[in-house]
Structure 1
Amino acid sequence: MTASPSPRPDSPSLRPPAENAPIHDAGPQKDSPKQLLGVYVKGMVMGAADIVPGVSGGTIALITGIYERLINALGSIGPSLWGVFRQDGGIKGLLAVWRRVDATFLLCLVLGIATSLVTLAGIIKHLLDNQPLLIWSFFFGLVVATVVILLTEIKRWNTARASLFIIGMVTAVIISSMPMLASTPSLPYLFFAGAIAICAMILPGISGSFILLLLGAYDTVLEAVHTFNLTIILTVVAGMASGLLLFTHMLKWLLSRYYQGTLALLTGFIAGSLLKVWPWKTDALGTLNSDAINNVAPWQYPTGAHWLTTLGLMLLGAVLVSLLSWWGHRSNRS
Structure 2
Amino acid sequence: MQRRFFDYIVISLKGIAMGAADAVPGVSGGTIAFISGIYEELITSISNVNPSLFKTLIKKGFVPFWKMLNGNFLVALLLGIVVSFVSFMRLAKYLLENHPILIWSFFFGLIVASIYFVGKQIQKWNFPILVALIIGIVIAFYVSQLSSLTTNEHSWFLFLAGAIAICAMILPGISGSFILIILGAYKTLSDALHDFDIKKILVFAAGAVIGLLSFSHVLKWLFKHYHNITLALLTGFIFGSLNKVWPWKETLTWYTNSKGIKTPLLQKSISPFFFNGDNQILFALLLMIIGFLTIFILERLGSKKV
Give yes or no for TM over 0.5: yes
Distance across 2 between alignment mates of 1:68 and 1:248? 10
Paired position in structure 2 for 1:257: 225
Is the Cα contact below 8 Å between 2:253 and 2:265 reproduced in 1? no
Residue 307 of structure 1 corresponds to 281
The answer for the alignment partner of 2:32 in structure 1 is 60
Counterpart contact for 1:63–1:146, Cα < 8 Å: yes
Q: 1:73 aligns with which of 40, 45, 56?
A: 45
The separation in 2 between residues aligned to 1:192 and 1:324, in whole angstroms, is 32
**In structure 1, what residue type is equivalent to 2:70?**
D
Equivalent residues of 1:85, 1:96 under 8 A apart: yes
Residue 129 of structure 1 contacts residue 289 of structure 1 at CA under 8 Å; is this kept in 2? Answer: no
Give the direction of change, closer, same or farther, for the CA distance of 1:31–1:290 in structure 2 (3 Å limit).
Answer: farther
Aligned to 2:295: 321
Q: Which residue of 1 aligns with 2:181?
A: 213
1:188 partner letter: W
Match of 1:146?
114
**1:170 has 2:138 as partner:** yes
Contact 2:151 2:188 in 1 (8 A): no
Matched, 1:247 2:219: no
SS at the partner of 2:224? helix
How much has 1:185 moved relative to structure 2? Answer: 2.5
Q: Which moved more, 1:211-220 or 1:114-123?
A: 114-123
- Aligned-pair identity (%): 44
Task: Return closer, same or farther for 1:124/1:290 CA change in 2, 3 Å cut-off.
Answer: farther
Q: Structure 1 residues 132, 292: closer, same or farther in 2, change over 3 A?
A: farther
The alignment covers a number of residue pairs equal to 299
Following superposition of structure 1 onto structure 2, how do residues 1-334 of structure 1 map, counting pairs within 5 Å? Answer: 30-88=2-60, 93-284=61-252, 293-331=267-305
Quick one: structure 1 residues 269 and 285, their matched pair in 2 at CA, closer, same or farther if it must change by over 3 Å? closer
Structure 2, unmatched stretches of 5+, are 255-261
- Aligned-pair distance for 1:290? 5.6
* Separation in 2, partners of 1:189, 1:30: 43
Q: Distance in 2 between matches of 1:47 and 1:220?
A: 18
Q: Please say if residues 191 and 235 of structure 1, whose CA atoms lie closer than 8 Å, have aligned partners that are also in contact.
A: yes
Distance in 2, Cα, partners of 1:267 & 1:290:
28
In structure 2, do the counterparts of structure 1 residues 204 and 285 end up closer, same or farther at CA, with 3 Å as the change threshold? closer
> Is the Cα–Cα contact under 8 Å of residues 283 and 289 in structure 1 kept in the other structure?
no
Moved more, 245-254 or 150-159: 150-159
Taking a change above 3 Å as real, the CA distance of residues 257 and 285 of structure 1, as seen in their structure-2 partners, is closer
How far has the Cα of 1:142 moved from its partner? 0.4
Separation in structure 1 between the aligned mates of residue 230 and residue 288 of structure 2, nearest angstrom: 27
In structure 2, distance between residues paired with 1:285 and 1:69: 42
CA distance in 2, matches of 1:201, 1:250: 15
Structure 2 match to 1:8: none
Partners of 2:57 and 2:291 lie apart in 1 by 45
TM norm structure 1: 0.86
Tell which structure's C-alpha radius of gyration is larger. Answer: 1
Once residues 87 and 300 of structure 2 are traced to their aligned partners in structure 1, the CA distance between those partners, rounded to angstroms, is 26
Equivalent position SS for 1:49: helix
Deviation at 1:291, TM superposition (A): 5.2
**Aligned position for 2:259:** none
Counterparts of 1:140 and 1:183, CA distance in 2: 27
For the aligned residue pairs, the C-alpha RMSD in angstroms reads 1.6
Task: Considering fraction of residues, name the structure with more helix.
Answer: 2
Q: Is this contact kept in 2: 1:73–1:106, CA < 8 A? A: yes
Look up the equivalent residue of 2:15 and give its one-letter code.
G
Are the equivalent residues in 2 in contact too, given 1:51–1:117 (CA < 8 A)? yes
State the Cα deviation string for residues 110-154 of structure 1 (Å, max 9, x = none).
Answer: 110111123212111100111111100110000001002222221
